[in-house]
Structure 1
């Protein structure tokens, strides 16, 4: 971390014009001609530093533009809708020397701008005079490692994305006032330069409020203690915003006043670029309002001359401890995107394209899991998720084939039936593109378009780049499905040592003392998840329960999120809330003895809130009442007696998670270290880095709740003991998607596997440290590799193929290409067996295929001949290839499941 110059110290730079608006600043380096605008002074203090000292490092970007939306994807208080915030758009046209850096004003007019500056019209975003439909994907740099960034961005580029979108996470960059961190996973400059290197654009959502299921919504906790602060309303110390629609309505006149102030402030900065408000219907001109959600095809801007932009297309949903795993079928996601494009959409951003991992204590919510996988096209580990990745890739290619017509004029909409429509786009050069939609969730539709019959599956859209040939249908998935499993990493058994955390003591003179119960975050300032609440209760030897009566009952009420109660050093019980209701009411019998009894309550935060009206005032911790029932006197209220407070754990204070701190205490060794599963236990072990390149994960399935560190870096929180209930029935892509629709993992731990970045490891003697709160079996913790276990495909002989469009558009007299089954294992693997194969009318889905009434007896032979021993293979779907027609005049398919093998074997 580096402490940078305050904003005003940079005023000596003759190349910078600085304007202050409360906490807002715009920097215009006049000499270089580069333009940067932001709503966040803190962020721009760092930008100023780079303008002054290291400009070539950040401004050497070709035709990249940064669009900041101050807020991100967050469920509102009403029904889980998401909102977003302001965004600024600006361009940096970078060359080799600093003086060649040049920026152009972004206009709303149709005339082409100079030198590649982006421009907006109601139909498209214009870059270098070319109208564009831009496809974007969210990848948050701190949710992966710098070593992963290039691979992630390359995968996005390979899938025909134009733009990478990310937030700027204020609390990661300024953890304490004036102390800045732009290193490691927070190296924003390196991330942007990596995007630039691969030739994509950047959308920079500069916040400072990001939501994003991120701790405290991206705000540093110290901001809460600025005198007079009130978040997200008309409040003088707080003058920045993001995703404000629902909050504005809940805040009444103050919210509306704040909204207008923010818009006027942003426009008044005269950055020369458009500003965007997401999910704010009342966005005043010239600010552009945009859409976030599962579907945005019914969205229209509040004035007709604004472009139609979808800033968050939710590719899945986040996961919370105690909840199931959410899955959004790719057929529905592709249908939603195609619906949006056919209605005139010009910009679509997938939230998320790669979700990644909430390392450390960055997960918010509260109760958000360490995994932020989000069912995204690229999974948490950086591996391609099929069929979501491949099917969307084909969709993007089909959209790009239609781009010239899409950006030229409004579509002509024609009814093809009661629930069917055609959207036809015509370009000025005579090009034509059509989207044929079947909104019926119950049945196929056979429609007539341009005197040709087309069969459209339910809840789907077919895309015809020439108004004649179908190259893509959102419901017809031709790419493979990859099934992932965890494989043993074949490392040596871990030799565990244990150190017992001491329950906080009444005799510790260093503790905070107060009469009554104090709010947790006000004490810890979020420096730790843990706060001890300690008091005592005196009991007379004459009490009736000591002579054969029932034990007293202790009740504790807490604002959340979890607590463990210790009586005289022994665990008496635990309780926890949920994301929907953080509050806790513990009630349990306690083994009180005669004399003085020590009650120690360990209150545990599981991430700070990231969304909601004035969430800075939401409470955490034990606020009472705390009452002991069942005494001879009746009940004794302990709420307002003397309490002692210890921030964090002793092991945290000794840095037992670090290489140096782990050597500062005596650890219990041998079988005694693991034979009894004690609460409040620290475990450590050393291991060598597994060979190979497969992503790694820790299997924590035998543990309870706690945190994990590798070589001093925090993997995050784990919580195995909290298994979800819920409805995990079968999932269909058909019909409107909502997050409860397609769920899995009910009855199992929400998250069992925890990502271990390979870049965190050294070849030998890596330190693994675990803090376990309630007790677990450390001997069963193991290092695993993640890779493909099997691949499936299910493709019909009439499946649309983009290959044939290439032939037709190029005028090449090549033979018509039959659809093919494509299978591909992971690098280093090969297809070792064909588990299922059928050319005919197979039934079922991947992992559960069955032969139908029609089946070619040559199915296995043909697939085995072409695929066994290969990393990838392709087999044409035709009667000629399979030797005979098993059922003439019937549309046939090939369904296949192939086993992928490497040195390791999958576990069940």
Structure 2
């Protein structure tokens, strides 16, 4: 998913106008799936005839919903999948997030919340098929569209192209991914029924050689060529002539968009790969909602036509940590909030919304099948008066700097996320406009330790009047607010200061540069005294009520904090910013302990000793706070 508002064809099995078998030979890489009670039989074969899917020779309508394994605590995967089945879905769609699995070149993580193979197996155990979207570009309102930031250390790299500096790590990554999950495809006893090539490439380019390179790499990685397809939301498809195409669109556009799809591929299949069942939020902008009754009516129409549908999102979850992306729309940088609630049928914490029941009813009526009973919905809890009684000033905990004549970006210093500090000793008195060329993304400017102003890329701010005395210290603290995940702008989405800093037109040089990934927050020199010089780290302990072996979910109220980040018991919860619309951070109960939970926050501007609360329900639109208890 991604959009702002506003010559191997002969060797491939044909999808156009002929039957296409989606099962393939049992040999190949990957762990074999284990047959589970209630799982789809291992002998299934999916084909397309006259624009319709056929499963074992019988008509099969894909009714899918998107949910992303890294956006859901692993302990909750099963309950979310049960909720999908109870809504009437027969398939789950998911992207694969390269930067979550290879944050360091050549080092792979498929453990815990990144255990994609287990996520797929659990879906099979719940009787659900899986559509896999490995990209390598995914968009998804996810940091840098799923690309690892270390790609950008090479100043000349061109992502989403045939550039060998890009394709070599892509091939290495997809081969490793294939060894993990290719064995879970349909003919090997698994439940993966389709695999997407790249993602909405028509919104980015038209390089058929590049697309075919991704297709061939997926096949070489163990994914069967007859399972492959492309998806698009643009007016032209970023497609290969011998692959099927599905179309992506939002509420109210089904009839026109399916007509467009039929012009692209008259012989089918007829499917929307993303039916946008909501929308995502930006900092400083309104919270988005969509009319559930309109969506239910439109879903009923699509299913009544025999079309297949994948809802984006069925369950959005949370872009935990630094994983929120950013949009670029009409020359404007728009960083996304941490919550990926998306106004989806299943809310951020896995609880059904009115939209869930409206769509559940529409699916049941269209298919004439009663869905499974709804699982029990756990309660939530409130926790009051969490005093953050220990603090540490950032200024007292700076690491060893890098000395550099010119400015460097985070990527130059092998830093992915967090902040970066540029320090300069002033050699001559001067006054005038300080101009930052290439601010990515939010800067706080200090003179001799005093905050003199802020600059925000969202607001296209890049200059500030300053007075600098000889011998003064100029500090520029820059936050990475999230890398752009959509469009051509992601090609230059490095973080920090990309150009120069000048005062009265004269460029400044000879800097001390401090890399601040904020990963060492637990080992800082904390004190029981209130923090008086922001940015400040705060931490405090609290207890949480337990029900059986687990604690109930809750939501951290960030009222009283300005801008920063929060961690709980070593888990990165996400970003804080008083401009909203998000005012709470989701706290999964499975991340809580009965005693001694440790909450840590950094506030870039606040000072003192904050007291925070946790609420029973989220606040995703700050304007609605008066209506909440």
TM interval, shorter chain, is: 0.7 to 0.9
Q: In 1, Cα distance between the equivalents of 2:441 and 2:155?
A: 27
Asked if 1 retains the 8 angstrom alpha-carbon contact of 2:447 and 2:474, the reply is yes
Name the structure 1 match of 2:330.
none
Structure 2 residue aligned with 1:377, among 336, 342, 345?
345
Q: TM-score scaled to structure 1, two decimals? A: 0.56
Q: 1:178 to 1:273 in 2, by over 3 A?
A: same
Name the structure 2 match of 1:656.
521
Structure 2 residue aligned with 1:532, among 412, 416, 421?
421
Name the structure 1 match of 2:210.
258
Q: Secondary structure at the match of 2:313?
A: strand
Please tell me whether residue 281 in structure 1 is matched to residue 139 in structure 2: no
Q: In 2, Cα distance between the equivalents of 1:227 and 1:707?
A: 29
Q: In 1, Cα distance between the equivalents of 2:435 and 2:213?
A: 48
Q: In 2, Cα distance between the equivalents of 1:261 and 1:636?
A: 47
Q: In 1, Cα distance between the equivalents of 2:200 and 2:123?
A: 25
Q: Secondary structure at the match of 1:381?
A: coil
1:390-446 deviation per Cα after TM superposition (whole angstroms, max 9, x unaligned): 01001001110299xxxxxxxxxxxxxxxxxxxxxxxxxxxxxxxxxxxxxxxxxxx
Q: Secondary structure at the match of 1:120?
A: strand
Name the structure 2 match of 1:202.
130
* Aligned positions, number: 545
Please tell me whether residue 596 in structure 1 is matched to residue 468 in structure 2: no
Name the structure 2 match of 1:570.
450
Displacement of 1:688? 0.7
Paired residues for 1:497-508 under 5 Å? 497-502=390-395
Paired residues for 1:28-107 under 5 Å? 34=26, 48=29, 51=30, 55-56=31-32, 58-60=33-35, 93-94=41-42
Structure 2 residue aligned with 1:221, among 139, 143, 149?
149
Q: Secondary structure at the match of 1:646?
A: strand
Q: 1:778 to 1:326 in 2, by over 3 A?
A: farther
Name the structure 1 match of 2:527.
667
Name the structure 1 match of 2:10.
none
- The answer for unaligned runs of 5 or more in structure 2 is 1-23, 171-197, 328-334, 371-376
Q: Secondary structure at the match of 1:771?
A: strand
Displacement of 1:172? 0.9
Q: In 1, Cα distance between the equivalents of 2:485 and 2:128?
A: 30
Structure 1 residue aligned with 2:567, among 706, 709, 715?
709
Displacement of 1:488? 7.0
Displacement of 1:597? 0.7
Q: In 1, Cα distance between the equivalents of 2:607 and 2:345?
A: 34
Paired residues for 1:673-712 under 5 Å? 673=530, 678-692=533-547, 694-712=552-570
Name the structure 2 match of 1:291.
247
- The answer for unaligned runs of 5 or more in structure 1 is 1-31, 37-47, 65-91, 95-114, 250-254, 404-483, 544-550, 629-634, 723-748, 789-846, 848-904
Q: In 2, Cα distance between the equivalents of 1:530 and 1:332?
A: 43
Displacement of 1:305? 2.1
Q: 1:487 to 1:154 in 2, by over 3 A?
A: closer
Higher relative contact order (CA 8 A, sep 6+): 2
Paired residues for 1:476-487 under 5 Å? none
For the aligned residues, what is the CA RMSD?
3.3
Q: Secondary structure at the match of 2:63?
A: strand
Q: In 2, Cα distance between the equivalents of 1:146 and 1:61?
A: 19
Name the structure 1 match of 2:121.
193
Paired residues for 1:18-417 under 5 Å? 34=26, 48=29, 51=30, 55-56=31-32, 58-60=33-35, 93-94=41-42, 115-225=43-153, 229-239=157-167, 241-249=198-206, 255-259=207-211, 261-262=213-214, 271=224, 273-279=226-232, 281=237, 283-294=239-250, 295-298=253-256, 299=258, 300-301=261-262, 302-345=264-307, 347-365=308-326, 367-386=335-354, 388-401=355-368
Name the structure 2 match of 1:727.
none
Displacement of 1:221? 1.9
Q: 1:614 to 1:575 in 2, by over 3 A?
A: closer
Displacement of 1:275? 2.0
Asked if 2 retains the 8 angstrom alpha-carbon contact of 1:35 and 1:271, the reply is no
Q: In 2, Cα distance between the equivalents of 1:214 and 1:641?
A: 34
Asked if 2 retains the 8 angstrom alpha-carbon contact of 1:487 and 1:787, the reply is no
Q: In 2, Cα distance between the equivalents of 1:576 and 1:270?
A: 44
Q: TM-score scaled to structure 2, two decimals? A: 0.79
Q: Secondary structure at the match of 1:191?
A: helix
Asked if 2 retains the 8 angstrom alpha-carbon contact of 1:705 and 1:774, the reply is yes
Q: Secondary structure at the match of 1:574?
A: strand
Asked if 1 retains the 8 angstrom alpha-carbon contact of 2:337 and 2:575, the reply is yes
Please tell me whether residue 560 in structure 1 is matched to residue 440 in structure 2: yes
Name the structure 1 match of 2:404.
514
Larger Rg: 1
1:121-150 deviation per Cα after TM superposition (whole angstroms, max 9, x unaligned): 234322222212221011101101011111
Q: 1:59 to 1:173 in 2, by over 3 A?
A: farther
Q: In 2, Cα distance between the equivalents of 1:616 and 1:93?
A: 44
Asked if 2 retains the 8 angstrom alpha-carbon contact of 1:232 and 1:614, the reply is no
Q: 1:158 to 1:402 in 2, by over 3 A?
A: closer
Displacement of 1:184? 1.6
Paired residues for 1:416-435 under 5 Å? none
Q: Secondary structure at the match of 2:472?
A: strand
Asked if 2 retains the 8 angstrom alpha-carbon contact of 1:169 and 1:210, the reply is yes
Q: In 1, Cα distance between the equivalents of 2:608 and 2:314?
A: 36
Q: 1:148 to 1:644 in 2, by over 3 A?
A: same
Structure with the bigger percentage of helix: 2
Name the structure 1 match of 2:387.
494
